[in-house]
Structure 1
Amino acid sequence: MNITDAAQMYHEKMFPRYVSRFLETDPEFIERFDNFAFDEVVNQDDLNDRTRMMAILSVLIGCQGIDEFRAMHPAALNFGVTPVETKEIVYQSVPYMGIGRVLPFLYAVNEILTSRGVELPLSGQSTTTIETRLEAGIAAQVDIFGEHMRDFWQSGPEESKHINYWLASNCFGDYYTRKGLDYKQREMITFCFLLAQGGCEPQLTSHAAANIRLGNDKSFLIKVISQCLPFIGYPRSLNALRCVNEAAAKSE
């Protein structure tokens, strides 16, 4: 095998003293994957390790990569992603992925944190109540997307307008208002959930625009896509790039 020094050093930072069994069973594959993912890709741009790991955890939820999530979660913690941040990533994925797809990741996070001596539950991060969640959710939508979202919660046909109400009160009022991550981080991980699951290109374009509006500019989003590519593949990465280009063009 010819794994580069840079790839070996990065792997050691992620997984100190861990020797993968794939070095024995799949040496040719691991040579090319590690050299690509942990040398060529991580050295492509200046995205910091914490942000990279938050994005990777998010796309692994989005693509349902539970085994790789279990492997990368400790690496994220080693790079400074906090237990609160990992919990918030999982929690926020629920309105975008549904509990049916998220539950295995919640179990995994709890198991990994417990194994590292973290006492659960973590300190509460909620800032709303059942009575205040709608108003706070509307405020979050306006802050992130703009003033046109002020009355969105009560728009739409009578038979389906309750979904727009839920979007404001549940998706934004219950999750975006939590502490632990700021709006820019929450929009980045939402972008990652959507790009990784595929089939959500209209929503992905909308959230790319929201990211840009908050300061996660086109260059930043391309860095995020690039760093996630080894974990989600080329088709969904290229789709995400197209959505970012569309959103950026509209924002000019």
Structure 2
Amino acid sequence: MTEKAKSYCEKFFGAKGLGLAETDPEFSDFFQNFAFDEVVNNDDLDDRTRMMAVLAALIGCQGLDTFEIVLPAALNAGVTPVEIKEIVYQAVAYLGIGRVLPFINKTNEIFEERGIELPLPGQATTGREDRLEKGEQTQVDIFGDGMKGFANSGPEESRHINRWLSDNCFGDYYTRTGLDNRQREMITFCFLLAQGGCEPQLTSHAAGNMMVGNDKGFLIQIISQCLPYLGYPRSLNGLRCVNEAAKN
């Protein structure tokens, strides 16, 4: 391994790194040289943001085994337990509980091993009486005034789904403390990027990211940092979506 890769690996992942050095030494060296030297030194993205993006991407691609390795590294990089839990919780809105429950359970297991007391402090800021109003306001804050009245828009037979987007996706999740709107839009971008097949939504959320201050250059950095974990096809699809959003 290069000296930079060794240094990064030892700082965040420990001496074993990804744990493949004994069984797959050649692969271990060239992958970690790429991921932990060439990629992480490609830009000036801070380690906390990088780790948050990678955690979100691993949930999105269902990379539970790698998530188990990266989560302690994220804690070592200064990502807080609350921030990690908020990333995992928000994934439910974009992947469903069927795909996220294993990540909730794995997070709890690692937290308990590290002596992090559960449950963590609550982060909710809405209740049943105001989640719709505050959720729609969050949509407006991120995507603009065109989202006003979104909960009551669309064909009558599917209008309830628009309402759920406002009161559940945004009212229950985005209004929580622990992460701000820029961070929440960034992790949503990673969920969509990683699972694939969501290019219309990925383009929309690339635009939403740009509206809250995560510009095109930032999103390209996020794609770049997630690429070792997602591969090239989904990363290139994400780049196309970012370029499309930047035209508008």
Letter in 2 for 1:202: P
Task: Please state if 1:161 is matched with 2:164.
Answer: no
- Deviations, residues 35-74 of structure 1 (Å, cap 9, x unaligned): 0000000000000000000000000000000000000000
Q: How does 1:20-31 map to 2 (within 5 A)?
A: 21-31=19-29
Task: Please state if 1:41 is matched with 2:44.
Answer: no
Q: How does 1:18-97 map to 2 (within 5 A)?
A: 18=16, 21-97=19-95
Where 1:199 maps in the other structure, the secondary structure is coil
Between the aligned partners of 2:18 and 2:135, the Cα distance in structure 1 is 45
TM-score under structure 1 normalisation?
A: 0.97
Contact 2:10 2:17 in 1 (8 A): no
Between the aligned partners of 1:230 and 1:113, the Cα distance in structure 2 is 25
Between the aligned partners of 1:237 and 1:98, the Cα distance in structure 2 is 22
What is the CA distance between 1:113 and its match in structure 2? 0.7
Match of 1:176 in 2: 174
Closer/same/farther in 2, CA of residues 7 and 132 from structure 1, 3 Å limit: same
Between the aligned partners of 1:81 and 1:196, the Cα distance in structure 2 is 20
- Structure 2 residues not aligned, in runs of 5+: none
Where 1:25 maps in the other structure, the secondary structure is coil
Where 1:111 maps in the other structure, the secondary structure is helix
Q: How does 1:124-163 map to 2 (within 5 A)?
A: 124-163=122-161
Between the aligned partners of 2:15 and 2:37, the Cα distance in structure 1 is 18
What is the CA distance between 1:18 and its match in structure 2? 3.5
What is the CA distance between 1:17 and its match in structure 2? 3.8
- Deviations, residues 158-198 of structure 1 (Å, cap 9, x unaligned): 11100000000000000000000000000000000000000
Between the aligned partners of 1:142 and 1:53, the Cα distance in structure 2 is 28
Contact 2:75 2:81 in 1 (8 A): yes
Letter in 1 for 2:202: L
Letter in 2 for 1:144: I
Contact 2:13 2:69 in 1 (8 A): no
Match of 1:4 in 2: 2
Closer/same/farther in 2, CA of residues 202 and 39 from structure 1, 3 Å limit: same
Contact 2:124 2:176 in 1 (8 A): yes
Between the aligned partners of 1:196 and 1:19, the Cα distance in structure 2 is 23
Determine which of 113, 116, 119 is the counterpart of 1:115: 113
What is the CA distance between 1:83 and its match in structure 2? 0.1
Contact 2:142 2:212 in 1 (8 A): yes
Match of 2:219 in 1: 221
What is the CA distance between 1:19 and its match in structure 2? 5.9
Between the aligned partners of 2:244 and 2:220, the Cα distance in structure 1 is 13
What is the CA distance between 1:16 and its match in structure 2? 2.8
**Segments of 4+ in structure 1 off by > 3 A?**
17-21
